Amino acid sequence: MSSSKARLAALRTDLERRNPAQPEFHQAATEVLDTLAPVLAARPEYAEPGLVERLCEPERQIIFRVPWQDDRGEVQVNRGFRVEFNSALGPFKGGLRFHPSVNLGVVKFLGFEQVFKNALTGLGIGGGKGGSDFDPRGRSDAEVMRFCQSFMTELQRHIGEHTDVPAGDIGVGGREIGYLFGQYRRITNRWDAGVLTGKGQGWGGSAMRTEATGYGSVLFAAEMLRLRGEELQGQAAVVSGSGNVAIYTIEKLTRSGAHPMTCSDSEGCVVDEKGIDLELLRQIKEVERARVSEYAKRRGASARYLPGGRVWDVPCDIAFPSATQNELHADDALALVRNGVKAVSEGANMPTTPEAVRILQDAGVAFGPGKAANAGGVAVSALEMRQNASRDAWTATRVEEELAVIMRDIHQVAHDTAERYGLPGDYVAGANIAGFERVADAMLAQGLI
């Protein structure tokens, strides 16, 4: 075993020892570390003692109590998190997730991924992530507001436009960002528009922020297909999830002439042979906050609901895992390959298991990892920060044009970096190495901190 590989193997062992019971973080870190041996061998300066070790250790981990009162007058207590992972390239930047599955290990995995994703955008932002095990589903607006106000009462002391800039994620949309920003403004007596992104357009938000992650994932897939001499027009697509990312992935696919046929939630999936009806899906998910089974009931004969079903069994040309981590397993990857899938573009964070990634890559499927393919959301968040700094508001056309350029650049740097290290077509390695090089150069320049 080479010295670089031996060092990385020892680091993995130590990382698991020091971060017990955090399998998602272990998985995310291992994926990156497994690609770094040729970089450390080729670039001796990166082998400086402690560089990779520092990169794997968050600068700051914050855990706090979030007490709040429900509509019955009963006191509830949740746990809040903010992991500020790396600020070598700029202020910490990353979303807040409100979901029962949130724990420290999940937030650390998301924050670690965010470091490399944000580096790939080239927009001068570091990586962080946060959230709570609070579940907004089934809660009234008043309950969500009281929770958000309690959450921000603690979080506000740790964030700022030059320090840490949270955004939304699963369970945190425009409603929650509004309540969080209102409480921040109330406590600080400051209109710091740049302290949160994902705001409403009428009060400091950016056009296209809602659409950005889904649109970006489709743009990345289009670039992968372009290198194969194909385009999105006419391609049959499957999309998992039915939240923000999935909805706007479906929208962009439809506008690009592709044929998205599926959506899903934790209870099952819908297959619509005519193509997903966006307006109906939005009404059910964004207005009524109902389950996707309701879509099939209202859509008619073209749609069928499969309780417990998986979208990956549906024959398709391109696939977009857009729900949550580790949703696409080895058996799902085998089904996709059997059915002739050409490209997979991750809209969610780490939705494909390591075994499934290997199966897809070994079969010659173009695979776009989340830290590259779903970087559109944080890219437009950074553009929102830029608009806030100048007290400006860009048109949707300008933001979409900027997003398209950023996604093309991310695809290009991931592709070219993989080629440079003798790994042609491996977007996982290319994205990991390109992000690492940018962060590592900044860390070396700034000294041992």
Mean pLDDT of 384-394: 96
Is the pLDDT confidence value at 188 over 60? yes
Distance CA 97, CA 129 (A): 8
Could you tell me if 283 and 185 lie in one domain? Answer: no
Is the pLDDT reported for residue 207 higher than 90?
yes
CA-to-CA dists, residue 140 to 70, 147, 178, 331, angstroms: 9, 11, 15, 39
- Which string of b and e fits 359-378 if b means at least 16 CB within 10 Å? bbbeeebbbbbbbbbbbbbb
Do 156 and 282 sit in the same domain of this protein?
Answer: no
Q: Is residue 197 part of a domain?
A: no
**Statement to judge: residues 224 and 364 lie in one domain:** yes
Strand order through the sheet with 343-345: 259-260, 236-239, 318-320, 343-345, 366-368
| Model pLDDT for residues 251-298, shown as the tens digit of each residue | 999 999 999 999 999 999 999 999 999 999 999 998 998 999 999 999
Residue 198 domain flag: no
Residues in contact with 54: Cβ distance below 8 Å, sequence separation at least 6, in sequence order: 443
In this structure, the answer to whether residues 169 and 268 fall within a common structural domain is no
Q: Is 390 part of a structural domain of the chain?
A: no
Q: Which residues contact 430 (CB under 8 A, 6 or more apart)?
A: 372, 413, 414, 415, 416, 417, 418, 419, 421, 423
In a domain, 116, yes or no: yes
Burial class (CB within 10 angstroms; exposed 0-12, middle 13-18, buried 19+) of 71: exposed
Q: Which domain holds residue 121?
A: 60-191
Please say which residue of 351, 373, 395 terminates a domain.
373
62-82 average pLDDT score: 98
**Average pLDDT of the segment spanning 342-352:** 97
Q: How would residue 348 be classed by pLDDT, with cut points 50, 70 and 90? A: very high
Count of structural domains, the chain: 3
**Residue 37, in any domain of the structure:** yes
Kindly state the percentage of the chain with pLDDT values over 70. Answer: 100
Q: Where do runs of H (alpha helix) occur along 156-228?
A: 174-188, 212-226
Do 244 and 337 fall into the same domain? Answer: yes
Flag whether 417 is in a domain.
Answer: no
Where among 330, 356, 373 does a domain terminate? 373
pLDDT digits 0-9 by tens, 124-171:
999 999 999 999 999 999 999 999 999 999 999 999 999 999 999 999
**Residue 3: predicted pLDDT:** 80
Task: Round to whole Å and give the CA distance between 320 and 243.
Answer: 13
Q: What is the pTM of this model?
A: 0.95
Token couple for 290:
């109902």
Return mean pLDDT, the chain: 96
354 and 229 share one domain: yes
- Domain with residue 365: its CATH number is 3.40.50.720
Q: Do the domain assignments include residue 431?
A: no
Tell me the catalytic residues: 129
Q: What is the pLDDT of residue 425?
A: 97
DSSP code per residue over 382-425 = HHHHHHHHHT----HHHHHHHHHHHHHHHHHHHHHHHHHTT-TT
DSSP states along 68-116: EE-TTS-EEEEEEEEEEEE-SSSSEEEEEEESTT--HHHHHHHHHHHHH
Instruction: Please give the average per-residue pLDDT across 386-401, as a whole number.
Output: 97
- Cβ atoms within 10 Å of 422's Cβ, excluding its own: 9
Specify whether the CB–CB gap between 403 and 219 falls below 8 A.
yes
Boundary-marking domain end, from 312, 341, 373: 373
Contact by Cβ (8 Å): 439, 446:
no
Residues 313 and 287 in one domain: yes
pLDDT single digits (tens) 290-299: 999 999 999 9
Q: Are residues 13 and 136 in the same domain?
A: no
Same domain? 250 vs 175: no
Q: 5: pLDDT confidence band, cut at 50, 70 and 90?
A: confident
Same domain, residue pair 67 and 185: yes
Are 41 and 83 part of one and the same domain?
Answer: no
Q: What is the CATH number of the domain that holds 140?
A: 3.40.50.10860
User: Does the pLDDT of residue 1 top 60, yes or no?
Assistant: no
Residue 417, both tokens: 């970096």
| Cα 25 to Cα 417: distance, rounded to the nearest angstrom | 25
> 């006191």: which residue's tokens?
75
Same structural domain, 115 and 45: no
In a domain, 199, yes or no: no
Residue range 39-58, pLDDT digits in tens: 998 998 998 778 999 999 99
